[in-house]
Amino acid sequence: MAIPNPKSNSCADCAGLGVIVDQVVGRSARARRCECQVRCKRCGGSGFVLVSAVDTSVAQPCACRHLAERIALFNAIGIPAAVAEASFETFKPYSDCQTQARAGTYDFARKFRGDEPNRGFLLHGKPGCGKTHLLAGTLRYLALEKGIGCRYIEFMLLLSDIKAGFNSGRAHMDILRSLAEVPVLAIDELGKERGTEWERSMLDELISRRYNMGLTTLFATNYPREATAVHTEPGRMVRTGSPEFQREAETMSLAQRVGDRIFSRLNEMCDFVRVEGPDFRKDAEAGRGTFWR
């Protein structure tokens, strides 16, 4: 499916969206009102328009307030600076698989409705093939085009926050609550954690709460959906600290990384979408125009 270029009568800076997203090192992506929208022609920037009623006129919120609300929604997502500019339009597919992944995630975002349950998606594939870009682009579209509240997290960083919270006396639910309740949550780098019982219980609690409330959760993981057989000779001692074992661990499947219970829940909540192609971070041609130019 073609990704339409936003509005036609467009401003060269914002392509008619009214919003500019800034990429600032060390901060999550920040959106602001484009110059073309700074002074609204209808309300002169006051945010109110006078509407005539019987014998009088009353002030009503101007439609341009939508823009301020949507900018606030975007700024609450926590999109990493490296993918601040990620959108469906800026995603350049280099393989059929990436073209399909973009079409599938765009279709999800376009059809998303805030008033009914929406099945999420799980992007899987090798690192550097654009999974984080598609996650960020989906959240950007939902916030700016549809006014849907979203959050982006890397699961390992969330675990660090929870651990740091323990040290300062904060219960884990203080940190999880807002993530458990946001309309759309994207969890990146799923399965990268060590897979301890505690880590799994945190993940299980978060996605179970969201599942029970009918909220949509999106995921991305570097691990393959299916297990690739790890060849161990019968009776061979496995040294878990060895480089060989670490390499084998990297070929583990997502089911092995997160455990059967969570994996089966993921299958209930999500469509699995494969994203494979050249590595954007290694391939000079494919990586051109990214953050690390």
DSSP string, 122-182: EEE-STTSSHHHHHHHHHHHHHHHH---EEEEEHHHHHHHHHHHHHTT--HHHHHHHHHHS
Task: Draw the binding track, 20-39, toward Zn ion (x: CB under 5 A; -: no contact).
Answer: --------------x-x---
Which tokens belong to 281?
A: 């971070």
Q: Which of residues 45-104 bind Zn ion (CB under 5 A)?
A: 62, 64
φ, ψ at 216 (rounded to 5°): -85, 135
Of 10-18, 94-102, 169-177, 180-188, which part binds Zn ion (CB under 5 A)?
10-18
What is the rounded distance in angstroms from the CA atom of residue 250 to the CA atom of residue 15?
Answer: 41
User: 7 vs 261, which CB is nearer to Zn ion?
Assistant: 7
What is the rounded distance in angstroms from the CA atom of residue 94 to the CA atom of residue 290?
Answer: 15
Among 14, 86, 148, 286, binds Zn ion (CB under 5 A): 14
DSSP string, 12-58: TTTTTSSEEEE--TTS--EEEE-HHHHS-TTTTTSSEEEEEETTEEE
User: Can residue 220 be called a binding residue for Zn ion (CB under 5 A)?
Assistant: no
Least CB distance to Zn ion at residue 222 (A): 37
Of 9-17, 144-152, 198-206, 236-244, which part binds Zn ion (CB under 5 A)?
9-17
User: 59 vs 164, which CB is nearer to Zn ion?
Assistant: 59
**Contacts with Zn ion: how many residues (CB under 5 A)?**
10
User: Can residue 13 be called a binding residue for Zn ion (CB under 5 A)?
Assistant: yes
Least CB distance to Zn ion at residue 67 (A): 8
User: 47 vs 117, which CB is nearer to Zn ion?
Assistant: 47
Q: 16: which residues sit within 8 A by CB, 6+ positions away?
A: 6, 7, 8, 9, 10
User: Can residue 43 be called a binding residue for Zn ion (CB under 5 A)?
Assistant: yes
What is the rounded distance in angstroms from the CA atom of residue 261 to the CA atom of residue 201?
Answer: 11
Of 12-20, 76-84, 176-184, 195-203, which part binds Zn ion (CB under 5 A)?
12-20
**Site residues (vs Zn ion, CB under 5 A):** 11, 13-14, 34, 36, 40, 42-43, 62, 64
